[in-house]
Amino acid sequence: MPYMTDIRPTAAELYFLPVETRVPLKFGHETLTHVTCARVRLTGVDPAGRAAEGWGETPLSVPWVWPSSLSYSERQAALQQFCMRLAHAWSHFDAWGHPMEVGHAFQQQALPGLLAQYNAEREQTAPGSEPMPWLAALVCCSAFDIALHDAYGVLHGRPVYETYGPPWMHADLAHYLTPADGAAVSFAGKYPHDYLVFPRPARLPAWHLVGGVDPLDASELTGDEPQDGYPILLADWIARDGLTCLKVKLRGNDAEWDYRRLVRVGEVAVAGGVDWLTSDFNCTVTDPAYVNAILDRLLLEHPRLYGMILYVEQPFPYDLESHRIDVHSVSARKPLFMDESAHDWRMVRLGRELGWTGVALKTCKTQTGALLSLCWAKAHGMTLMVQDLTNPMLAQIPHVLLAAHAGTIMGVETNAMQFYPDASLPEEAVHPGLYRRRAGQIDLTTVRGPGFGYRLEEIRRELPAVARL
């Protein structure tokens, strides 16, 4: 029998919101110029029949979730079709519990079969077609999972982060998580709230993304840049937003280019008073020696820039099980953070064995999964970041709340205001501190109320028609 505090999903509506980038964003071997955001309205009920609606949203970032030689349009269409199947599956998923319990059950019991069936059908209609990867399925699922967490908070009139422990949750973390072999760790009697930060900080340092095709000085301007009032050059962004943290996208297959890029960005950073850098190779490196050589040369030739690098993010292929690369030599130089690899806590456990020292969490891998990975990592002494998927509109709010409650190594990455700032104007009118960085920070003080504190009734956002199969 369900507890009176439990929730069960009963209906889900899906909306697709297209967004154009104002400037291109390079992801590994691809360059992003547009993205579609999946927004979900999910209805849940409690055993007494009380109903509440919750909302979730995530960008379907094709190059990130599904790197491939397939066309962008083919992959995006597949992601959208799978989202529509998930809307039906979530509406008929007969499970009661806290959102952590229901979300975990869906990911364990329903999502693998749905993905396998979808890929089998793709193979039948187009023999030899490339299967959609698990990461893509997780990202599609995340909007529904986030919406369930929001609905639960709304149902009980509480911020959802207040519900991540008793009496709301019935199963402790030992129900979900297994410690690493030999670790003096026990999850018995532990709940997510034991690993979260309360009260959450009101402001967070904001990381700015320096894309692989972003111009660094006037000599790189082509004349095709948008004249929309937003900065173009990195120095102008630093001055306008008071930035103190820069994330540098690298290629991972051209060591000389990567080294020069780090040095050039670092020089602009020093001139602008920036404190911290991080390097992101986006899964394109196959040998730790590649990263080590760049870091060692930087230490020798530009020791100040080397000291500014706070951590290194995901240089190696994200499928850790197929690419079991020992990375201890890299993490001996700088903290090494999993991103695409950190599908769930089991991958975090494998990564720790291979030498990774930190985890970059993302709500786009589901709120449920992000919290479980957070708890496992913190219990084993790993450090945390919360990384962006260039989250606009509603997607920004659960993203920054996760960072505020996680206790990250340094703030949160947030870059939608660089690549499509006008997409979030209705949300910015209610939460101005979340969609523009000031003094190098974002401000969360407007986020309040039940669920994720969207204050949705105040946001004047017109939605398209509901997406249907």
Handedness of CA 388, 393, 399, 403 (dihedral sign): positive
Distance between CA atoms of residues 5 and 321, nearest Å: 38
| pLDDT on residue 331 | 98
| pLDDT on residue 322 | 87
Based on the fold, state whether residues 355 and 318 are members of the same structural domain: yes
Model pLDDT for residues 44-86, shown as the tens digit of each residue: 999 999 999 999 999 999 999 999 999 999 999 999 999 999 9
| pLDDT on residue 160 | 98
With respect to residue 171, please indicate whether it lies within any of the assigned structural domains. Answer: yes
CATH code (residue 18): 3.30.390.10
Based on the fold, state whether residues 316 and 387 are members of the same structural domain: yes
Model pLDDT for residues 161-209, shown as the tens digit of each residue: 999 999 999 999 999 999 999 999 999 999 999 999 999 999 999 999 9
Report the interhelical angle of 367-379 vs 396-406 (nearest 10°): 20
Contact 27, 63 (CB under 8 A): yes
Domain boundaries, position 51? 8-175
Based on the fold, state whether residues 101 and 226 are members of the same structural domain: no
Contact 36, 65 (CB under 8 A): no
**Model confidence, pTM:** 0.97
Residue 318: pLDDT above 90?
A: no
| pLDDT on residue 127 | 85
Based on the fold, state whether residues 263 and 306 are members of the same structural domain: yes
Contacts of 464 (CB under 8 A, 6+ apart): 15, 16, 17
Contact 252, 284 (CB under 8 A): yes
| pLDDT on residue 382 | 98
Based on the fold, state whether residues 147 and 266 are members of the same structural domain: no
The 3-class SS string of 11-39 reads: EEEEEEEEEEEEEEEEECCEEEEEEEEEE
Model pLDDT for residues 8-44, shown as the tens digit of each residue: 999 999 999 999 999 988 776 788 899 999 999 999 9
Based on the fold, state whether residues 50 and 133 are members of the same structural domain: yes
Structural domains counted in the chain: 2
Q: What does the pLDDT average to over 368-392?
A: 97
| pLDDT on residue 174 | 98
Residue 189 is encoded by which pair of tokens? 């009697």
| pLDDT on residue 304 | 98
Distance between CA atoms of residues 439 and 241, nearest Å: 6
| pLDDT on residue 78 | 96
Q: pLDDT band for position 423 (50/70/90)? A: very high
Distance between CA atoms of residues 148 and 95, nearest Å: 12
Residue 223 is encoded by which pair of tokens? 């004349």
With respect to residue 454, please indicate whether it lies within any of the assigned structural domains. Answer: no
Residue 343: pLDDT above 90?
A: no
Based on the fold, state whether residues 148 and 199 are members of the same structural domain: no
Rounded to the nearest 10°, the torsion over CA 103, 200, 331, 366 is 20
Q: pLDDT band for position 456 (50/70/90)? A: very high
Based on the fold, state whether residues 35 and 133 are members of the same structural domain: yes
- Mean pLDDT of the chain, nearest integer: 96
With respect to residue 373, please indicate whether it lies within any of the assigned structural domains. Answer: yes
Based on the fold, state whether residues 328 and 427 are members of the same structural domain: yes
| pLDDT on residue 411 | 98
Model pLDDT for residues 389-417, shown as the tens digit of each residue: 999 999 999 999 999 999 999 999 999 99
* ∠ Cα 148 404 234 (to 5°): 110
Based on the fold, state whether residues 170 and 196 are members of the same structural domain: no
One-letter amino acid of 375:
C
| pLDDT on residue 455 | 98
Share of residues in the chain with pLDDT > 90 (%) = 91
Model pLDDT for residues 325-337, shown as the tens digit of each residue: 999 999 999 999 9
Share of residues in the chain with pLDDT > 70 (%) = 100
Model pLDDT for residues 126-145, shown as the tens digit of each residue: 888 899 999 999 999 999 99
Residue 323: pLDDT above 80?
A: yes
Distance between CA atoms of residues 245 and 117, nearest Å: 43
Residue 170 is encoded by which pair of tokens? 């019935």
Based on the fold, state whether residues 117 and 198 are members of the same structural domain: no
| pLDDT on residue 154 | 98
Based on the fold, state whether residues 341 and 265 are members of the same structural domain: yes
With respect to residue 466, please indicate whether it lies within any of the assigned structural domains. Answer: no
Residue 148: pLDDT above 80?
A: yes
